[in-house]
Amino acid sequence: MTNASVLPGQPRGAVVSGRATARTINVLAPNPSAMTLDGTNTWIVAEPDSDLAVVVDPGPLDQGHLRNVVATAEKAGKRIALTLLTHGHPDHAEGAARFAELTGTKVRALDPALRLGDEGLAAGDVIRTGGLELRVVPTPGHTADSLCFHLAADQAVLTGDTVLGRGTTVVAHPDGRLGDYLDSLRRLRSLTVDDGVHTVLPGHGPVLEDAQGAVEYYLAHRASRLAQIETAVENGYRSAADVVAHVYADVDRSLWPAAELSVRAQLEYLREHGLI
């Protein structure tokens, strides 16, 4: 058995549906894959003594999953009052419109195309529902519209795909940009240093108990990959596909298309900074 204490971020264990913190319940979507890990984590967030809840990332358009989210909230004595999106990728957002129909809620997102209702989300917004407070943290990089939600009462942050519970995330070039992503990781690190955030509630994978360790690992990983790619280019590997085959040779080939997106973002970053 692997000792979780030595893994980045100290993952809690197996990914399961159920309570994660005093104010959050995970409902795991049935969409596991190499890219989605165990599946999408749909988060029900509410104050313990409130009958109102917020749902973050309803997930894919899977009727069984969407109804299970509603049923899980009702079993906990909660009525879903609002739906939030961390970003617009289908495994997080495709089911949002149908979920809004089931619950009668508005959908708030950074991207206007994903919203249902007049209100969007912006940096510094505080969502208040049934006594719950979630602060919007802009974290572009994985995608241009990526957001995290700071749940100060639980010393936690809901990270969508910006930080995963296992492995590292893709910078989805050209929408995602590495410079933005590095800035976002530093912004999350400041939450762990200055605002007492200890727990990562990710969009995929297990809950992480060491938020600062996870973010520091991500930053170190990106620096290492940048150095590897810079060296690969110096050694004559010019195209993104060639760089992937060289630098990611030990990675499952099924993940190479996603790796190529990150490589394109990293090559763009190195060119912008005059490093290649």
Residue 115 lies in a domain: yes
pLDDT of 188 higher than 50: yes
Confidence of residue 2 (pLDDT cuts 50, 70, 90): very low
Helix ranges (DSSP H) in 135-255: 178-194, 211-234, 240-247
Domain that holds residue 59: 18-211
Q: Report d(CA 238, CA 158) in Å as an integer.
A: 37
Q: How far is CA 18 from CA 8, 29, 141, 210, 220, in A?
A: 23, 12, 29, 20, 32
Q: Are 22 and 9 in contact (CB under 8 A)?
A: no
Q: Is 270 inside a domain boundary?
A: no
77: which 2 tokens? 């004595």
User: CATH number of the domain that 29 lies in?
Assistant: 3.60.15.10
The mean per-residue pLDDT over the stretch 5-20 comes to: 90
Query: Looking at the 3D structure of the chain, how many domains does it have?
Result: 1
* 256 domain residue, yes or no: no
pLDDT tens digit sequence for 52-110? 999 999 999 999 999 999 999 999 999 999 999 999 999 999 999 999 999 999 999 99
Question: 158 to each of 122, 272, 275, how far by Cα in Å?
Answer: 16, 31, 34
HSE, CB side, 13 Å, CA atoms: give it for residue 266: 28
Axis crossing angle, helix 178-194 with helix 211-234, rounded to the nearest 10: 150
Mean pLDDT lowest among 2-11, 17-26, 150-159, 220-229 = 2-11
**CB within 8 A of 252, min separation 6: which ones?**
34
| pLDDT tens per residue across span 27-66 | 999 999 999 999 999 999 999 999 999 999 999 999 999 9
- Domain annotation covers residue 54: yes
CB 27 within 8 A of CB 47: no
User: Could you give the CA distance from residue 47 to residue 188 in angstroms, rounded to a whole number?
Assistant: 23
Is the peptide bond between 138 and the residue preceding it cis, with omega within 30 degrees of 0? no
Give pTM, 2 decimals.
Answer: 0.95
Residue 6: the pLDDT is 64
In a domain, 37, yes or no: yes
172 in a structural domain: yes
Residue 224 lies in a domain: no
135 in a domain, yes or no?
Answer: yes
The per-residue pLDDT of the chain, averaged, comes to 96
Residue 19 pLDDT greater than 90, yes or no: yes
